[in-house]
Structure 1
C-alpha cells in the first residue's frame, strides 16, 4: 500500500488473518483514528483452516483492514500449522520489522490453546531481538523497537496494561464480522464444519472485553502483557 521508506507507529503480528482483530481490533482502531500509522503482518494464509479458503480469507482480511483504517497489511506466507522456531522462519519477520521500523510491536500472548499462536509469539520475540543486531543479516539496516507488547486471543491472564476501547467497539465488531467464513455458522455451504470459532465465539470475545473493561469501570477494554515493566509518566 505504501513505499518501503515509510515507517509505522505500530506493527501487529498474528499467526492467521483475524488474530489481530480478535485480540486488539479496538486498540488498532483507536490508534488509526488518531492518525497513527498501523500495520498488520499475518504469518500464514491460514490454509489449514476448517472453513473458508485462502482466497476467501484474503478478501476477508482486506475488508477487516478497511474497517480498521490500517496503513498496510502483509502476509509472509509461512506454513500454517508448520510454525517452528527456525532461522528461515524468523528471518522474514526480522525483515518485516526492519522494512517498516515500527515504534511498537505486538504479538500473541505466549500462552494460548492454539499452538500456532504460541509459535507466533516465540518467532516474533526472536525476530524483535535479532532485528536490532547490526551484524545479523547485515544487508538490511538494524532496528530496535521502543516497546513490545503481547495481546490475548483465546487465553486471558490479568493484563499489565489495558486500553479503553469503548468508543471504537463498533469498529472492532465490524472488523470481526468481515471474517464470515470463520465466525458465521450459517451460509457456509456443504463444506461447513462446526468449530469453536463459529459456536458463539464472537459473543465470548465481546464478553471478555466487557469483563476487562469492568475492572476500570469502562464498557470495553483490551488487555496486554509485557516482558518488561510498563513505564508510565506521572502527571
Structure 2
C-alpha cells in the first residue's frame, strides 16, 4: 500500500511520527513530501538547505522511507505562497503516487506552516478527486493554540529507538531538556501517550477522514 507523509519542515516527520513510519515501512511504500526547506528562517546560508535535505534522507533511511519530494517553499513563509499553489503541489503528488493513507502536520499548534499544510491537505484529499481513503494528522511537540486531542494511538514500543536515531540526524534541531524537542521530552511524550492507551510508548494522531468501502 502507498502511504504519503506530509511535513511542513524536514524533521516534522521524525519527531511527529517516526515510530509509526518505521512500523509502516515494513509492509508499505512510504513517500515523504517536505514542503519547506526548513532553514531560511534561521540561517542565511544556502548550504544549510542541502545539509538539511541530506539529514532528512539519512533520517528517512533509518525509518525505511524510500521516496522523497522536496518542494523547497521558504521556511516559515508558507503564508506568502498562494494557497492554490500549495494545494496544486500536494494534489500533483497524490495524483502521481496514489496513496491510500495520508498523514499531515497538525492544525492545532502555533506554527503557521503546520496549519497551512493541514488546510491544503484537506483540499487535496477531497474524496471525489483523490485516491485517499484515510487522512490523519500527527502531533508535533511545541506551543499550541489548543490541546491536541488524539483519536488514534500507534504502539511504538519496539520502534521508539529508531525514532530517536532518526531525529538525531537533524543535529541542529536536537535541544536540551526541558525543550519539547529534547530527547527526554520526546520520550516523555511517547510514555504519556502510551499511558493513555495502556501501552509503554505510543504516538498520537487525529483521524480526520476515513472512507470505508
| Fold similarity call, TM over 0.5 | yes
Q: Runs (4+) of structure 1 moved beyond 6 Å?
A: none
TM-score, length-normalised on structure 1? 0.78
Q: What is the match of residue 8 of structure 2?
A: 15
CA–CA distance in 1 between the matches of 2:118 and 2:211? 19
Of residues 82, 97, 113, the one that matches 2:110 is 113
Q: Is the 8 A contact 2:136 2:209 kept in 1?
A: no
**Rounded Cα–Cα distance in structure 2 between residues aligned with 1:176 and 1:36:** 21
Could you give the per-residue CA deviations for residues 11-36 of structure 1, whole angstroms, max 9, x where no partner exists?
A: 01010000011111000001112x21
Normalising by structure 2, we get a TM-score of 0.86
Computing the radius of gyration from Cα coordinates, the structure with the larger value is 1
Instruction: Find the counterpart in structure 1 of residue 182 from structure 2.
Output: 201
The match for 1:62 among 35, 39, 57 is 57
Distance 2:95 2:68 in 1: 15
Of 85, 92, 101, which aligns to 1:95? 92
Q: Which runs of 5+ in 1 are unaligned?
A: 1-7, 134-142, 186-195
Deviation at 1:124, TM superposition (A): 1.4
Q: Which consecutive residues of structure 2, in runs of 5 or more, have no partner in the other structure?
A: none
Tell me if the contact between 1:10 and 1:38 (Cα under 8 Å) persists in the aligned partners: yes
Residue 113 of structure 1 deviates from its aligned partner by 2.1
Report the Cα offset of residue 229 of structure 1.
Answer: 6.7
Checking the alignment, whether the CA contact within 8 Å between 1:111 and 1:118 is kept in structure 2 is yes
Q: Distance in 2 between matches of 1:82 and 1:123?
A: 15
1:31–1:223 CA distance, 2 compared to 1 (3 A): same
User: Does structure 2 retain, via aligned residues, the 8 Å contact 1:163–1:223?
Assistant: yes
Q: State the partner residue of 1:75.
A: 70
Cα distance in 1 between the residues matched to 2:148 and 2:137:
11
- Equivalent residue in structure 1 for 2:140, among 145, 153, 158: 153
> How many Å apart are 1:174 and its aligned residue?
0.6
Q: Deviations over 1:142-167 (max 9, x none)?
A: x3301000101024523101000001
Q: Which residue of 1 aligns with 2:28?
A: 36
Looking at structure 1, the residues matched to 210 and 131 of structure 2 have their Cα atoms a distance apart, in angstroms, of 18
Please give the root-mean-square deviation of Cα atoms over the aligned residues, in Å.
Answer: 2.2
- Bigger share in strand: 2
What displacement does 1:100 show? Answer: 0.4
